[in-house]
């Protein structure tokens, strides 16, 4: 994943998608993406959204680039942040706020697009604080007053200072624009965009088993792959916020890949103000055993499902709008060894530039899938297979030596590959238990013409024998979503800062 990247539209005429700074207005959303932009929504009670124009990038004289989303009642919040060592200044600041307030008493989040405020040194750290404090001041709060505090997020170019004066001037305007309608949320979702071709905003309602008559709402927005903040009006215990969010992020935002980069700014922040909860409702706690949520509170189990589904749908929108993306690729890997193996293999496939360019070119070059499996970190360190004897071998000191392991993580003679067409028609087998299939190229072409493609990888395919056998192994499935690598990706990222 990568932080926001911007282009001005100075593109080669050969390419059909044009990206503007920042989120394009309705007029310029590509026709194929219109279906992902909602025209109405059901937003969580007690939350307000606003936006304003600061001109973070000097070339942006027109579009809002400041967004503010707040809860009228200060509320519990949590954030999951990038693992990049160089965490941007706004992330460090937000984490300090969450730590200081113990995941409670948070007002909302102030966001700017156009500049990531990352690796900007001590001055950059001060700028992040200024953004948060300026927002607090709009609510008549200050650090010394002990009032609720704001989180801060930034996205855009790395290594440049924020034009903090322009941002300070714009924040009160964003505050003045706060409102609760669909249009308010949509304008905020547009303001956080950079190279996005459409604003990414989702909302939905849900109920919890303990009070089926109570309707809750969850809404969230995301840009590129960088900043995500779901907001809900259910009541969650502050100490449980992080666990609910963490669980949801692993299966959603940590399961997508655009270009293999891990940004300095990626943040998912969750807010839950409890405004819709019935009076006397006890805030939901995280189940004792995360792997067996069904064993505990039905509300917690239901909330986990709601969170997972919602974050997954938001994450998929990011892939739909990957820079230059023309394809939406689902990679489904099944292992009988472990989820770690399945995930490593899926992630390695999803970051192979060779495979991603082939899919862009509608070329069924499935050998590249096998190649990417074979060099997956953690897999590559394990022994390979001798094609003639079926024995496990390892290169050591210039010689192939036999290895006595019984069950390798990847076994070429039990590995199977197939394309699953998006229209639900029959799968196309590519490689079955160690032997290449005689692939019908016309059929492959047909499948690759569709926007969506699913790649199925079975690392230990026993051809169904296991089902009737007593040696049945548990199966682990990892699903990762990615997009192709196109000429436009190169255009956008070769010309980002202008």
Q: Which of residues 136-195 bind a second copy (CB under 8 A)?
A: 157-161
Say how far apart CA 311 and CA 218 lie, in whole Å: 10
| 493 appears as a binding residue in the annotation | yes
Separation of alpha carbons 165 and 142, rounded Å = 19
The residue among 446, 195, 486 whose CA lies nearest residue 326 is 486
Calpha distance 143→302 (Å, rounded): 37
Q: Which of 9, 61, 3, 4 is nearest to 495 (CA)?
A: 9
Window 8-67: residues binding a second copy (CB under 8 A)? 12, 14
* In the complex, least distance from residue 310 CB atom to a second copy, rounded to whole angstroms: 19
- How far apart (Å, rounded) are the C-alpha atoms in residues 117 and 135? 17
Which tokens is 45 given? 């009670």
Query: Does 72 show up as a binding residue in the annotation?
Result: no
CA distances from 256 to 21, 346, 418, 457, 482 (A): 24, 10, 20, 17, 6
Query: Which residue in 9, 121, 298, 463 binds a second copy (CB under 8 A)?
Result: 121
CA distance 82 to 226: 9
Residue 446 assigned ligand-binding role: no
- Nearest Cα neighbor of 23 from 13, 42, 36 is 36
Among 228, 256, 373, 428, binds a second copy (CB under 8 A): 373
Least distance from a second copy to the Cβ atom of residue 51, Å: 25
When asked if residue 458 is in the footprint of a second copy (CB under 8 A), the reply is no
Stretch that binds a second copy, among 32-40, 177-185, 286-294, 366-374 (CB under 8 A): 366-374
Q: Tell me whether residue 351 or residue 460 sits nearer to a second copy (CB atom).
A: 351
Closest distance to a second copy from the beta carbon of 386 (Å): 6
Which of 87, 200, 327, 458: binder of a second copy (CB under 8 A)? Answer: 87
Contact 134, 25 (CB under 8 A): no
Q: Which is nearer to a second copy, 43 or 489 (CB)?
A: 489
The interface mask with a second copy, positions 222-261, x = CB under 8 A, is: -------------------xx--xx------------xxx
- Segment contacting a second copy by CB under 8 A, of 56-64, 85-93, 207-215, 313-321: 85-93
Q: Which of residues 260-289 bind a second copy (CB under 8 A)?
A: 260-264
Instruction: CB nearer to a second copy: give 111 or 118.
Output: 118
Least spacing, CB of residue 180 vs a second copy, in Å? 28
Helix axes 121-138, 89-100, angle to 10 degrees: 50
Tell me, by CB under 8 A, how many residues bind a second copy.
100
Nearest to 360 by CA among 329, 321, 403: 329
* Contact status: 120 vs a second copy (CB under 8 A): yes
Q: Which is nearer to a second copy, 87 or 187 (CB)?
A: 87
The CA distance from 376 to 382, in Å, is 10
d(CA 286, CA 228): 21
Minimum CB distance to a second copy smaller for 35 or for 405: 405
Say whether residue 383 binds a second copy (CB under 8 A). yes
Provide the minimum distance between the beta carbon of 33 and a second copy in the complex, in angstroms, as a whole number. 21
Which member of 198, 286, 431, 481 binds a second copy (CB under 8 A)?
Answer: 431
200 burial via Cβ count (<10 Å: 0-12, 13-18, 19+):
buried
Q: Is 45 assigned to a binding site?
A: no
Query: Which residues are annotated binding-site positions?
Result: 194, 223, 323, 493, 498
């Amino acid at each position: 994943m990568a932080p926001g990247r911007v282009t001005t539209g100075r593109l080669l005429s050969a390419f059909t998608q044009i990206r503007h700074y920042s989120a394009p207005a309705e007029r310029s959303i590509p026709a194929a993406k219109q279906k992902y932009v909602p025209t109405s929504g059901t937003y969580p009670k007690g939350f307000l959204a606003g936006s304003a124009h600061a001109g973070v990038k000097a070339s942006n004289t027109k579009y809002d680039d400041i967004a503010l989303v707040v809860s009228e009642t200060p509320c519990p919040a949590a954030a999951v942040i990038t693992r990049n060592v160089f965490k941007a200044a706004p992330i460090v600041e937000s984490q300090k706020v969450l730590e200081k307030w113990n995941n409670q008493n948070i007002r909302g989040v102030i966001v700017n697009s156009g500049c990531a405020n990352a690796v900007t040194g001590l001055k950059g750290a001060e700028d992040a604080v200024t953004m948060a404090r300026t927002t607090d001041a709009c609510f008549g709060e200050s650090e010394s007053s002990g009032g609720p505090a704001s989180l801060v997020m930034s996205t855009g170019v790395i290594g440049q200072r924020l034009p903090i004066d322009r941002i300070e001037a714009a924040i009160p305007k964003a505050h003045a624009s706060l409102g609760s309608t669909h249009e308010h949320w949509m304008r905020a979702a547009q303001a956080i965009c950079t190279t996005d071709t459409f604003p990414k905003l989702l909302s939905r309602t849900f109920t919890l088993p303990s009070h089926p008559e109570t309707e809750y709402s969850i809404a969230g927005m995301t840009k590129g792959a960088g900043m995500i903040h779901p907001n809900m009006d259910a009541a969650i215990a502050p100490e449980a916020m992080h666990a609910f969010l963490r669980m949801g992020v692993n299966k959603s935002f940590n399961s997508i890949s655009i270009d293999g980069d891990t940004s300095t700014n990626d943040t998912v922040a969750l807010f839950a103000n409890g405004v819709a909860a019935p009076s006397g409702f006890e805030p939901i706690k995280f189940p004792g055993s995360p792997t067996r949520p069904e064993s505990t509170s039905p509300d917690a189990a239901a909330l986990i499902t709601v969170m997972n589904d919602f974050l997954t749908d938001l994450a998929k929108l990011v892939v739909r709008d990957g820079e230059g993306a023309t394809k939406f690729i689902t990679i489904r890997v099944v292992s009988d060894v472990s989820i770690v193996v399945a995930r490593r293999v899926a992630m390695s496939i999803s970051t192979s530039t060779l495979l991603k360019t082939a899919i862009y070119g509608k070329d069924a070059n499935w050998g590249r899938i096998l190649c990417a499996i074979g060099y997956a970190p953690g897999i590559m360190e394990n022994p390979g297979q001798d094609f003639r004897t079926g024995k496990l071998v390892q290169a050591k000191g210039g010689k192939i030596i036999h290895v006595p392991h019984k069950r390798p993580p990847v076994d070429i003679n039990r590995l199977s590959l197939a394309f699953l067409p998006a229209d639900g028609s029959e799968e196309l087998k590519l490689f079955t238990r160690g032997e290449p299939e005689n692939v019908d190229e016309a059929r492959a072409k047909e499948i690759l013409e569709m926007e969506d493609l699913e790649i199925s990888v079975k690392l230990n395919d026993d051809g169904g024998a296991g089902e009737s056998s007593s040696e049945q192994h548990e199966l682990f499935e990892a699903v990762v979503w990615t997009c192709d690598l196109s000429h436009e990706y190169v255009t956008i990222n070769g010309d980002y800062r202008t």
